[in-house]
Amino acid sequence: MAPKVPPQPTLEQSTSAVDAGHGHHHAHEAPPKGIMRWLLTTNHKEIGSMYLIFSLIMFFIGGIFALVVRLELFQPGLQFVNPEFFNQMTTMHGLIMVFAAVMPAFTGLANWMIPLQIGAPDMALPRLNNFSFWLLPVAFGLLLSTLLMPGGGPNFGWTFYAPLSTTYAPPSTTFFILSLHIAGISSILGAINIIATILNMRAPGMRMMDMPLFVWTWLITSFLLIAVMPVLAGVITMMLMDINFGTSFFNAAGGGDPVLFQHLFWFFGHPEVYIMILPAFGIVSAIIPAFARKRLFGYASMVYATAAIAILSFMVWGHHMFVVGMPLAGQLFFMYATMLIAVPTGVKVFNWVATLFRGSISFEPPMLFALAFVVLFTIGGFSGLMLAIAPADFQYHDTYFVVAHFHYVLVPGAVFAIMAGVYYWLPKWTGHYPNVRLAQWHFWLSVIGVNLTFFPMHFSGLAGMPRRIPDYALQFADFNFVSSLGAFLFGFSQLLFVAVIILCVRGGKKAPAQAWGEFADDLEWSVPSPAPLHTFETPPTFQRPAH
């Protein structure tokens, strides 16, 4: 599959592949000015930055929705919002965080870093890259606008189970479907681009097994995206037909099956969960060796474990449906398959710990976030293992225990990994180190906030609090009080993150090309800091690391 001879980029090719081969020989023409520059750019770094800024904005919008939810749950009773709006907030929080914050953030990092890490001048399909990005503001502008429509926005949870999302849905649901279609197309196009780049544009001498793990995990993630996004598109199209064209895919009265919706949704949904965590594994696998000053333990195993997790992710969707009344054999199948996932996931955690063992460890901001990732993601993994036990899931299912579980893997998991990645690569992007003192404040406030928010949810769930309720019985009051305090702490401490980024863009301690020492030695550290707009116009010759 990997080409023996990578493409030899000429000067034309590297400016922007759009111009290549069309006889436009103005290699470094001045880019259009103002807004047009950003609308038309095909440069992977600029598009990467746009993805990252977009996802940061969406992170705050989704965060505000979460704070509305936590505000209402601060005390028993209905104080601030009515249950209808509460449901819209929980739904929009989930949709925005999953599809508009976490996924675009990883795509943004991929855009910036994959060409740099494999020594390519740009992404393989730069125009498609621009299109993938600009679909996103359209998709999520549309999604957010449903909140202002008559009848309100989506109110059926981010999992939008039929028939609540079809027969019983607000009129704006058709717009919700359209926006998800657009976001899905964006993801698929982005994934195609990443695969094409990784398979075709590696520097001469770099084989697949020489690629940094971030590249590997993104390659596997891209295949997951291409495999499951069409399933999502299918299921929302069926909803569209049920709502507008009188079909009965999910309507029992017309001979349909509401459970079919769940099978299709989770066949997409479970790999989707791994789409949000595999690139995080890649980032952490770069950062831990860099600050432990020691090569990553078991590189090959890491790649193989990623592949194993990806394969298994297609056979476990039923564990989201243990209480819908599946036959016993189905129940057992999904329980066994789900338990198996713990093995490759465990391998990863053990490898990170073994990398730390007998290293020479320092605690720069990226490392702080990476270490918190390992601990807190593992806690999320433990509760995942508990949820895999089907009989026990009869008690855990749809309670705050589940909310605690997936927030542990997604917030101090995926989101912390993104933040770790941002701190790690900021010197490369801006030429300055991030302000250490502010970053430490951001880290500690985030860690405390996250745990205050989500740890008590384990208890409220076990004690019997169902998820997605706007008001609750009095015995859950203390847990919710603490969770809400933690959520506000976590939410507001993210303003520090923005401050660090802005300060870092505007100035700070100058960073050399190899900003984090000799063990951060992937190809991106061989170009100057800040990375010039065009890099690797002449492909580097890849040298395997000496140590």
Partner 1 sequence: MRTLLVWLAGGLALVGSSQVALARGWNMPVGVTDLSGEIYSLHMIIFWICVVIGVVVFGVMFYSLFRYRHSQGAKAANFHENTTVEIIWTTVPLLILVGMAVPATATLQKIYDPSDAELDVMITGQQWRWRYEYLGEDVAFNSNLATPRAQIRGEEERGEHYLLEVDEPLVLPINRKVRFLFTSDDVLHAWWVPELAVKQDTVPGFVTENWVQINEPGIYRGQCAELCGVDHGFMPVVVHAVEEDEFDAWLVERQEMAAEEAMGVDRDWEMDELMERGEGVYGSICASCHQPEGQGAPPAFPALAGNEELIAGIEWHKDVVINGVSGTAMPAFRTTLNPVELAAVITYTRNAWGNDTGDAVQPAEIAERLAQ
Partner 2 sequence: MWGVIKSVLAAFLGVQRDQQRREDFERGSPLAFIVTGIVMGVLLVAIIALVAFLAAG
Please list the active-site residues: 93, 122, 158, 186-187, 270, 272, 274, 285, 319-320, 345, 348, 467
Out of 95, 310, 371, 419, point to the residue binding partner 1 (CB under 8 A). Answer: 371
**Interface with partner 2 by CB under 8 A: which range of 28-36, 263-271, 294-302, 460-468?**
294-302
Q: Which residues are bridge partners to 399 per DSSP?
A: 466
Cβ proximity to partner 2: between 173 and 222 the closer is: 222
**Interface with partner 2 by CB under 8 A: which range of 128-136, 157-165, 305-313, 536-544?**
305-313
Cβ proximity to partner 2: between 210 and 524 the closer is: 210
Residue 410, both tokens: 């997604």
Q: Does 361 bind partner 1 (CB under 8 A)?
A: yes
Out of 92, 273, 337, 422, point to the residue binding partner 2 (CB under 8 A). Answer: 337
What's the CA gap between 259 and 261, in Å, rounded?
A: 5
Cβ proximity to partner 1: between 373 and 497 the closer is: 373
What's the CA gap between 48 and 2, in Å, rounded?
A: 25
**Stretch 461-480: interaction string toward partner 1, x if CB under 8 A:** -xxx-xxxxxxxxxx--xx-
What's the CA gap between 342 and 285, in Å, rounded?
A: 18
Number of chain positions touching partner 2 (CB under 8 A):
29
Least distance to partner 2 from the beta carbon of 383, Å? 21
User: Which residues inside 186-215 make contact with partner 2, applying CB under 8 A?
Assistant: 207-209
User: Which residues inside 48-87 make contact with partner 2, applying CB under 8 A?
Assistant: none
> Which one of partner 1, partner 2, none interacts with residue 518, CB within 5 to 8 A by kind?
none
Cβ proximity to partner 2: between 252 and 311 the closer is: 311
User: Which residues inside 345-364 make contact with partner 2, applying CB under 8 A?
Assistant: 347-348
What's the CA gap between 364 and 87, in Å, rounded?
A: 40
Q: Does 444 bind partner 1 (CB under 8 A)?
A: no
Q: Are 96 and 61 in contact (CB under 8 A)?
A: yes
Which residue, chain included where needed, has tokens 């490898």? 351
Q: Is 546 exposed, middle or buried (0-12, 13-18, 19+ CB in 10 A)?
A: exposed
Q: Does 546 bind partner 2 (CB under 8 A)?
A: no
Q: Which residues are bridge partners to 510 per DSSP?
A: 432
Backbone angles phi, psi at 529, to 5 degrees: -110, 130
Q: Cis (ω within 30 of 0) for the bond into 31?
A: no
Three-state DSSP class for 7? coil
Closest to 532 in 3D by CA, of 513, 519, 517, 504:
513
What's the CA gap between 83 and 64, in Å, rounded?
A: 17
Going by the DSSP 8-state scheme, the letter that residue 348 receives in this structure is: H
Q: Are 309 and 274 in contact (CB under 8 A)?
A: yes
What's the CA gap between 96 and 410, in Å, rounded?
A: 13
**Interface with partner 1 by CB under 8 A: which range of 40-48, 278-286, 351-359, 520-528?**
351-359
Out of 8, 35, 150, 502, point to the residue binding partner 1 (CB under 8 A). Answer: 150
Q: Which residues bind partner 2 (CB under 8 A)?
A: 1, 207-209, 298-301, 304-309, 311, 315, 327-330, 332-333, 336-337, 340, 343-344, 347-348
